[in-house]
Structure formats: C-alpha cells, structure tokens
Amino acid sequence: MDEKPVDILVVEDEAGHAELICRAFRSRSERFNLTVARDLRQARRHLAAAVPGLLIVDYRLPDGMGLELLPGQNKPASFPFIIMTGHGDEQVAVEAMKAGAMDYVVKSAERLHEMPHIAERALREWKLRLDKIQAEEALQKANIELERQVARRTAHLENEIKERKRAEEALRLNESRLEALLRLSEMDQATQQELADFALEAAIGLTKSKMGYIAFLNADETILSLLSSSKGARPPLEIGDNPTEEPVEKTGLWEEAVRQRKAVITNDYQAAGPLKLGYPVGQGSLIRHMHVPVIDGQRIVAVAGVGNKDTGYDESDVRQLTLLMQGMWRLIQCKRADDDQKRFEAQLQQIRKLETIATLSGGIAHEFNNALTVVAGQVELLQMNLADHKNVKKFGQATQQSIQRLCSLTNQLLAYAGRGKYRPEILKLNDLLKSAVPILMHDLNPDIRVETDLSSDVSSIKVDVTQWQMIISAILKNASEAIDRTGHIRIRTRAEKIEQAFASRHPGLKPGRYARLTIEDDGKGMDEETRKKIFEPFFSTKFQGRGLGMAAVYGIVKNHDGYIYVDSKPGQGTLIHIFLPLVEKETKEVPPPVRVGT
C-alpha cells in the first residue's frame, strides 16, 4: 500500500521565498502536500482545521513572531516544525531550538531548494523524538507501577527482558542460519560429504553445542548411516562392527527421534533410563543432547543430533536445527538429482556405444564365421584327397587348430553381439555356482582364497549353463590376475527387488525381482577410464590377450535380460554386480561344468 503524503504547512509572508519553497517540493508531490499561509492569522486557521505533518514557519511575520504558533517551552508541540529566518542570528537559533524546532534555516535560494531534504531529515528526527518520548512515558509508567508493586513488577520486567533477549537471540540465530544456507547454496561444486560437514558445523554453532552428527536413514527407516560427525559424536554408531552404520533399534535414545517422528530433547543424560546408551572410553561424557528428524514427505530421510550445550535445549534450538537440516536436505536432493542426471547420461551414452560396437562386431563375426566354414571345408577336402601326403597332414592339423581358435573368438564376438546360440534352462543360481566354482578354482592362483556367501532365498533363474560357466570363468580369471600374490575373491548371491528409483540410475535395468550375483576381489582395482572400457571388444589391460572375455560376459548377460555393472577404484579392488530376473518354476539339476577359455 502506498504511503500517505505528508501535509506541510508553510508560513511565509514573502511571496518569492514561498514560491521557491513550493518549487522545491513540486518534484516531490507524491510525498508531500503543501499549504502556504501568509501570516499568523491564516496559519492559526489552518492549524485549527487540521494538525500538519510538518510546520515550516518564518521567524518574523507581519502580525507577529512565528514561535507564537507553538504551545511554548513547557508544552511540547504536537507536530514537528522548522524555523526560517532571513538573517543568521545565533540568539534566534538558540530560541528556536529551545522551542523544540527540528531545524533552523537561514533563507537563501540554495537552502530553500534543499528544503525537501531538510523536511525529510526533520521528519525522521521527529519520529525518533516521538519514539523516545513514548519510551520515556512507558518507562515513567513502569517506574510508577514499580513503586507501587515492586515485587510483582520486578518479576514482570525480568520476563520482558528475557523475552527481548530471546527475540534478539532468535533474530541473530535466524540471520546466522540464513547465512549458512546461503553459503551452502553457493557450494555448487561441493560433494555431499562437504555439504553435510558444513551444515553440521553451522548446526553446532547455532545451538551453542559442543558436538553433533548427521546420519541418513535407508528407505525403510531401519538403518542409520553416519554422514558427518564432530569429534566425540560417533558413539551411537560405533556399537556394531560397521563404524558408520547401525540398526536404528539398537541406538537407544538416538532412536526416539525416528520412532516418535519428532524432535527429542534430553537435558539430563546422566539420569538413568532404559533407552540410555553407554559412552565409549576416551570420548568424554554426554550431559545433554537433542535430535531432530529430517522429514521428506512421509519419510524420515535423516537424523541430526547435537549435544553438550552449556544450558538446556529448548524449542528455539529445535526450530533452528530443523530449518537448517531441511535446507541442507533440499540442497543435497538437488545435487543428487544433478549427479544422477549426469551419471544417467554417461551410462546411456556408454550403452549406446556398446550397442553400436556389438552391432558392428556381430556383423564382422558373422561374415568371418562364413569364411572360416569355407576354409575349414577346404582343409578337410585336402586332407581327404591327399591323406598320404606327410606335409599336407602336418600343415592341415596346424591349420585346423588355428581355425578352432578363430571359431572360439568368433563365438565370443557373437555372444557379445547377442547372436550366440543359447539353450536356456531353469535352475538355481546357487547350484550353478556350487557346481562351477570348485572346478574353476583349479585354474586360479593357489594363494588366492575364494569365499562364497550364497543366500538361501535366491530362487530360480533361466540361463544357458555353458554360457554362464564361461561368464564365471572369465570373471574369476580376471579377478585372479588383478590380485598380486595373495588375496581374496568373494562370491555373494542375494534375492533383491529392484525399485524404480534404483533402476532409473542404471539405464537398461528394469524394476522387478532379481538374483544378484556379486563377485568381489581385493586386487589392484582400476581407474574410471578403464572401468568405462571394460566391456568393449579387444580392450585389455594385459600385455597379451584378446580382450574378449568381459565383452562376451556383457553380451551374454544382456542376452539373458540381465544387467551388469562394475564398481572399482585404484587400490581398492573390484566388484562386479550381475542382476538376473528370477523365475518361479521347477528347476533342473545343473550338469557338470565345462572349462571354457577366456
């Protein structure tokens, strides 16, 4: 809504000066309404009709002194006023100030031109004066009341002071929180860990705590995963074997924010209670703490906790921590969405690249296979027609061996391109592994230990046994070669239900129920560039090798409506994850494995 214009009464008997004043205010018509009086009589008539927002009066007027319009020194004016005079006179200035004038102006063209600015200043000072007067009046009343009822008013004033301090503190905290959120929003290149660390530091400062932590919850709100913690704030997540994860149900009071779905304050942690947790030696003692859940829609996505504030935690602390964590979560969501989009685009580009290579490889392999068939037939005819010729037999056998190797290579290319010959059977993945792994272990370095963790809830899959024996053989051989001397290879199976959220981050994987096969080694790992090329035909990190093993693995998995991806970092080993659709039908007994070269 527009501010109402200020009514100004100008009392000036000289027409030239009055015109200069009106001209100065003309450009500010939306801010000021001017009325001009020529003498005291006109001025008094205007004042009787309405109280002006500001009075600008000449010190000397034809019918008296301008100060006569004021109530006098002992009575404060009900409106601000400015005294003008044609000649500078110190005595006049003193008299005007004593009368309560907001300003004293010696008339000149320049000064009268500045009158709008002088008026603005006078109005501001008048408002401050009124505020001061009102404050003084309120204080006087308070003192009177205090004299009558000292005890009651003292307590009331103390509460008022506390409320004022609380409001000031709330304002300061709000400003600090908003500043923290602003800085968070500017950290567009920061990792999720860096965002959480910064938010935690801000949370500890806002609540005047000594320690704190931020933990994320899994989708069903059963596992807390520590994301960020200050020194001394990790105890609740160090109960189990994993230093960064713990079932929510085992975290005592830390669980309450999740169970109650609201903030929980414990201002006396030393008091006995069934939900109280111990505190590890060397971590100090927990005096008081507060936890708040971070809720997104209907789900708790994170829990933030702070501890050991010098005074008790209250609802103000809850509000500040909750708002800060919600802001952090929104920023992390945006970053996750951006990262997921980039990862999705990169994966999609890689899939298209592999499909293009597969199409090309399949065409070449098909033509190559046709040519090999002709060559093989011609060699057999030569051996049949020149069976008694010693050199023909010798060179013919060597040629046939080369043809067999080339046929094996062609079959792998066809497998990669999805054109291989398949005889799918319904069987148990665990049975396939139990049958194949012991025999394939004979081809591995004996210093490498192969461990299996096969879940009993993995039901049946539909696969070509021979092709899958080749997959297991190729992966185990690569894992063995990646391990320097001694090491471990771990084979795990799990039944998993893939949700849309997970599938959307892995192009080519559809939601549904899968058997998940994970083969992990603690070898040298690989960098990101190598990981991206691992499924390309003829790509190899070895000095010798055809580089077709993993390419064939990719093609076979894809041809079984499966999905495969690799996690690896230099020096941290490699994990290969394979997802195969589960089927609910009777299974066949797995035949003995056939060793297949890679």
Q: Give the pLDDT score at 210.
A: 84
Average pLDDT score over residue span 356-375: 59
Lookup: tokens for 41: 């009589």
Q: What is the pLDDT of residues 250-272, one digit of tens each?
A: 776 667 778 888 888 888 877 65
Q: What is the mean pLDDT of residues 113-138?
A: 89
pLDDT confidence bin for 167, thresholds 50/70/90: confident
Average pLDDT taken over every residue of the chain: 77
Cβ atoms of 75 and 103 within 8 Å: the answer is no
What phi-psi label fits residue 297: left (phi over 0), alpha (psi between -120 and 50 degrees) or beta? Answer: left
pLDDT attached to residue 473? 84
Question: Quick one: which of 255, 339, 250, 247 has its CA closest to 289?
Answer: 255
Residue 235 predicted with pLDDT over 50: no
| Whether pLDDT at 488 is above 50 | yes
Percentage of residues of the chain with pLDDT beyond 70 = 73
Residue 307 has pLDDT above 70, yes or no: yes
Three-class secondary structure of residue 90 per DSSP: helix
* Residue 366, pLDDT score: 55
Q: How far is CA 69 from CA 11, 23, 48, 424, 545, in A?
A: 10, 25, 11, 109, 108
Please, are residues 414 and 365 in contact by the beta-carbon 8 Å criterion?
Answer: yes
Per-residue confidence (pLDDT) for residue 408, from 0 to 100: 59
SS3 category, 188 = coil
CB count in 10 Å sphere of residue 310: 9
Dihedrals phi, psi of 470, to nearest 5 degrees: -65, -40
Residue 38 pLDDT greater than 90, yes or no? yes
What DSSP assignment string belongs to 541-590? SSSS--S-HHHHHHHHHHHTT-EEEEEE-TTS-EEEEEEEE-B-S---PP
Sequence letter at residue 569:
K
Q: Which residue has the tokens 């597969």?
A: 358
| Distance from C-alpha of 438 to C-alpha of 476, rounded to nearest angstrom | 12
More confident residue, 277 or 380: 380
Q: Please report the pLDDT score of residue 595 as a whole number.
A: 45
- Tell me the range of 95-99, 117-121, 440-444 where mean pLDDT is highest: 117-121
Helix or strand holding residue 518 (H, E)? strand 512-521
| Cα 60 to Cα 175: distance, rounded to the nearest angstrom | 53
Distance CA 136, CA 536 (A): 85
Strongest mean pLDDT among 246-250, 260-264, 534-538: 260-264
Taking a C-beta distance cutoff of 8 angstroms, is the pair 379, 396 a contact? yes
Query: How far, in Å, CA of 559 to CA of 552, rounded?
Result: 10
Q: Report the range of poorest mean pLDDT among 6-15, 356-365, 392-401, 553-562.
A: 356-365
Q: Which of 8-12, 310-314, 342-346 has the lowest mean pLDDT?
A: 342-346
First to last CA, the chain: 80
The neighbouring-strand residues paired with 578 are: 517, 564
Sequence-distant (≥ 6) Cβ neighbours of residue 269 within 8 angstroms: 253, 276, 286, 287, 288, 289, 307
- Nearest Cα neighbor of 576 from 520, 534, 533 is 520
Give the separation between CA 210 and CA 231, rounded to whole angstroms.
Answer: 9
Question: Is residue 166 within a helix (H) or strand (E), and if so which, with residue range?
Answer: helix 150-185
Residue 35, strand partner residues = 9
Residue 277: Cβ within 10 Å count: 17
Give me the count of residues in the chain. 598
Segment 102-115 mean pLDDT: 89
Q: What is the pLDDT of residue 398?
A: 65
Q: CA-CA distances (angstroms) from residue 41 to 48, 56, 69, 283, 302?
A: 11, 15, 10, 85, 76
Quick one: pLDDT at residue 519?
A: 92
The pLDDT-based confidence of 358 (bands split at 50, 70, 90) is: low
Q: What is the pLDDT of residue 37?
A: 92
Contact indicator for 570, 526 with CB cutoff of 8 Å: yes
B/e letters for 177-208, b = 16+ CB within 10 Å, e = fewer, are beebbeebeeeeeeebeebbbbbbebbbebbe
Q: Where are the beta strands (DSSP E) in 208-280?
A: 211-217, 223-229, 245-247, 264-266
Q: Is the pLDDT of residue 242 over 80?
A: no
Residue 284 exposed, middle or buried by CB count within 10 Å (0-12, 13-18, 19+): middle
Predicted local distance difference test score (pLDDT) of residue 407: 61
d(Cα 541, Cα 528) in Å, to the nearest integer?
13
pLDDT band at 371 (very low <50, low <70, confident <90, very high): low
Model confidence band, residue 236 (pLDDT cutoffs 50, 70, 90): very low
pLDDT range class, residue 436, cuts 50, 70, 90: confident
Q: Are strands 64-65 and 60-61 parallel, antiparallel or unpaired?
A: antiparallel
**CA distance to 204, 308, 316, 527, 574, per residue, from 173 (Å):** 12, 18, 9, 45, 47
532 versus 348: the higher-pLDDT residue is 532
3-class state of residue 22 by DSSP: helix
As given in the structure block, the two tokens for residue 230 are 């200050």
- Choose from 100-109, 152-161, 170-179, 343-352 the range with maximum mean pLDDT: 100-109
